[in-house]
Structure 1
Amino acid sequence: MTSIRFNARRAILRAAAALSLGAALLPSAFAADNFPAKPITLVVPFAAGGTTDILARIIGQYMSEDLGQSVVIDNRAGAGGNIGAQMAARAKPDGYTLFMGTVGTHAINESLYKKLPFDPVKDFQPLSRVALVPNLLVANPQQPFKTVQELIDFAKANPGVVNFGSSGNGSSIHLSGELFKQMADIDMQHIPYRGSAPAVADLLGNQVAIMFDNMPSAISHVRSGKLVPIAVTTAERSPELPDVPTIAEAGIPGYEATSWFGLYVTAGTPEPIVAKLHASLVKALQDPKLVQKFADQGSTAYSETPEEFAAFMASETQKWAEVVKSSGASLD
C-alpha cells in the first residue's frame, strides 16, 4: 500500500512539474507566434545618409512588408558607432530592437578603444551579415604607379614617401592600408582626416598619393578619370569594375579587407523570435529587387546563418586586432 501511495504521489509531482514547464514556455511561444505586435526599432550607429543608414533603410522597408509592422530607423551616431551599439546592447531582449552593426562596431573597435561600453559578443545575438562593400585602392593620376606591383616597387625604393589618406584613425579605410603595408612589407605614411570626403578632396588635389576608399564614394571619380583604380580589396573582383584586379591576384596573395554590415538583436532574445527575424531578413536579402538596390549602392547583398556570422565575426576580430596592434592606433 505504501509503495502504491508513493508511486501515485511521484506521478502527481511529475505531472505538476510538466504543467509548470509548459506554463513557463507558453509566454515565449505565444510571444513568438504574435511577434511583432508593434513597430520594431532598427538602431543605426551612424548619421543619416551614409552607407550604413542607406542599407538599413532598404532592409527595414523589406522586413516591414514581410512582418506586417513598421521598422523605424533610429540614428544614434558617435564614437565610431559605440553610442548606438551601447544603446542596442542595453535594450530589452524582446526582438523589438535591431542593430545595424559594421566591421567597426563588431570587429575593430574592441581592439581600437581602450574602454568599450558594450561587449560585441556577449551583448548581441547575430542574425546575418547583410552586405559586403569593397574598398577600392585608388591613386591620383599624377603618381608614378598604376598597378599594385608598381606601387610596391616604388614604395620600397622610396621608403616613407608614399602617403595614404583615410576617413580617420581606426576606420576600415585606414586599417585596409595598414594591412596592405604589413603584407607588402613597405613603409607608407598614414594621413587621417575627419571623414572620407576631405580625404578624397586632398587625393584629387594630389596632397595624398593613394587611398583605400569605400567603393560608393570612389567609383564616380574613377569613372570620370580623376582617380586611377589600382585594385579592389575584396577576395573577388567587383561587378562594378570587372577589369580592376583584386589586391590578392595583383601581387599580395591572401589579402582581403572588406567593409561589411550585419544585423543583430539584443542577446537573450527568445530563440523563436530570433528565428522569425532571421527568416524575414534572409527573405529580404534574397529578393532580386533588394539585391539590385544594394548593387546600385556598390554593395553586395549577403545572407548566412547566425552561427556562420558568429564564426566570421570571430575571425575578423582576430585579424583586425593584429592590424590595430601593429599600427599603434588607439582611441579613448
Structure 2
Amino acid sequence: MFSLFQATHATHALRGPLLRAGLALLLGLGSGAGARADAAADAAAWPAKPVRIVVAFAPAGAADILARSLGEVLQRELKQPFVVDNRPGAGGNIGTDNAAKAPGDGYTLLVGIDTTFTVNPFIYKSMPFKGTDLRPVMMIASQGMMVAVNPRTGLRTLDQFIAQGKRSGLTLGSAGYGTPGHLASAILTHATGAKVSHVPYKGNAPASTAVLAGEVDGGIISSSAMLGQVAAGKVVPLAVTTRQRNPLVPGVPTVGELGHKDLEQEVLFALWVPAATPEPLVARIQSALEKAMKDPALRERMRANDLFYEGLTGPAAAERIQALADRYRTVIQSTGMKME
C-alpha cells in the first residue's frame, strides 16, 4: 500500500534533482541570453579593428578588383582598414579554405566565385573544406567570359577556332582547375570534338597574360581581364559567353548567336563569412554591403570592369549557388571533365 509517508519521501527524493535541473535551466537561459546580448553588442561595434578580405584568386583579376573597390568604400564608411589578402590556387580552394578556418568574428571575409563551391567538389578527389563551412552574405555581381586568341594563331572566328582544334589541337588557358573557363573548355571539347588542351593558371590576370604572350593559343577568361588587351588589338575576341552582347565590346558575338548555346555561362562573385559567424554580425555585414553598393563610384567602376550588380542575399543567394551546383554536376558527368 502506498502511504503518505512514501509520497512525502519520494517528493523529497526528487526535490534535489529537480531543483538542480531547474537551476541549470535558468543558468542556461541566462547564459544564452547573455551570449545573444554579447553577439548583438559585437555586431553593433563591428568593425573595431582592421578587416581582412581574402581573395581566392590572383591580383588584378575580377575578384581582386571587386574586393579592392568594395574595400575602399567600406573603409571610408566604417572607419577601419579593409585589407585584401590574395591567396590564389587550386581553383579558389586555397583562399577559400583559409577563410573557412578563420574565426567567425567578422574580421575575415571571403570574396570568391561560385565555381569553387559548384564545380570543385565534383572534380577534386578531396576538398580541404565543406560547403557548409561558409555562408554567403551577398551574391554581389555577375560577369561573362570571353573566348579570345593570340593574333599569331591567325584565327578570327569561333568556327575557325573549332576547326583548327579538330585538325591539330589547341591550347586554352583558364583561371584554374574548376573555374568557369575550365568548365567551358570541357563543354567546348565535348560538344564540338575539338581537341583542346586545358592549361590552368592561378587567376584570370595570369591567364590573360599567357594568351598575350603566346604561351597558349587562347583562353576562356573573364571578360574584364581581356577588355584592355582587346581595345589595344593585342588579342582577338571570338565570342562572349553571356546571353546578350557585352555593351563594352558590342561587336563581339555571343556563343548563342554562333550556335553554341551550351557554352553560355556567367561567373558569379559573392562575399562569404565563416559559418560560425553569429546572426547579428551577419546582418550587420550585410547591411554594410547593401549601403556600400549604393555608392555611385563603386557601381561605375564595376560597370567599367564588366561586373553587373546582383545583390542577392541570405537564402536567395544560397539557393542560386545550389541550383548551379546541380546544373554543373550534370555537365561534369556528361563531359567527363576532370583534373588533368
User: Where on the TM-score scale, by shorter chain, does this alignment land: which range?
Assistant: 0.7 to 0.9
Mapped contact 1:164–1:177 kept (Cα < 8 A): no
| Pairing of 1:119-268 with structure 2 (within 5 A) | 119=130, 121-139=131-149, 146-148=156-158, 154=163, 159-167=166-174, 168-182=176-190, 184-192=191-199, 194=201, 195-196=206-207, 197-202=209-214, 208=217, 210-253=218-261, 255-268=263-276
- Could you tell me which of 105, 108, 129 is aligned with 2:119? 108
Could you tell me which residue of structure 2 aligns to residue 6 of structure 1?
none
Mapped contact 1:101–1:262 kept (Cα < 8 A): yes
Q: Secondary structure at the match of 2:109?
A: strand
Cα distance in 1, alignment partners of residues 58 and 233 from structure 2: 30
| Paired residue total | 312
Cα distance in 2, alignment partners of residues 317 and 160 from structure 1: 34
Q: Secondary structure at the match of 2:257?
A: helix
Question: Kindly, what percent of the aligned residue pairs are identical?
Answer: 31
Q: Residues 152-202 of structure 1: CA distance to partner in whole angstroms, max 9, x if unpaired? A: 6x46xx8353524113554432322222333x4433322426441223322
Could you tell me which residue of structure 1 aligns to residue 8 of structure 2?
none
- Could you tell me which of 65, 74, 97 is aligned with 1:63? 74
CA drift of 1:122 comes to 0.8
Question: TM-score when scaled to structure 1?
Answer: 0.80
Which runs of no fewer than 5 residues in structure 1 stay unpaired? 1-8
Mapped contact 2:138–2:314 kept (Cα < 8 A): yes
CA drift of 1:311 comes to 1.5
Question: C-alpha root-mean-square deviation of aligned residues, in Å?
Answer: 3.1
Q: Call closer, same or farther: CA 1:65–1:319 in 2, change over 3 Å.
A: same
Is structure 2 residue 76 aligned with structure 1 residue 76?
Answer: no
CA drift of 1:144 comes to 7.7
- 2:265 aligned partner, one-letter code: A
CA drift of 1:278 comes to 1.0
CA drift of 1:281 comes to 1.1
Question: TM-score when scaled to structure 2?
Answer: 0.79
CA drift of 1:72 comes to 2.0
Mapped contact 2:54–2:109 kept (Cα < 8 A): yes
Cα distance in 2, alignment partners of residues 76 and 159 from structure 1: 36
Could you tell me which residue of structure 2 aligns to residue 273 of structure 1?
281
Determine which structure has more spread, i.e. the larger CA radius of gyration.
2
Cα distance in 2, alignment partners of residues 72 and 328 from structure 1: 36
Cα distance in 1, alignment partners of residues 86 and 149 from structure 2: 33
Which runs of no fewer than 5 residues in structure 2 stay unpaired? 1-17
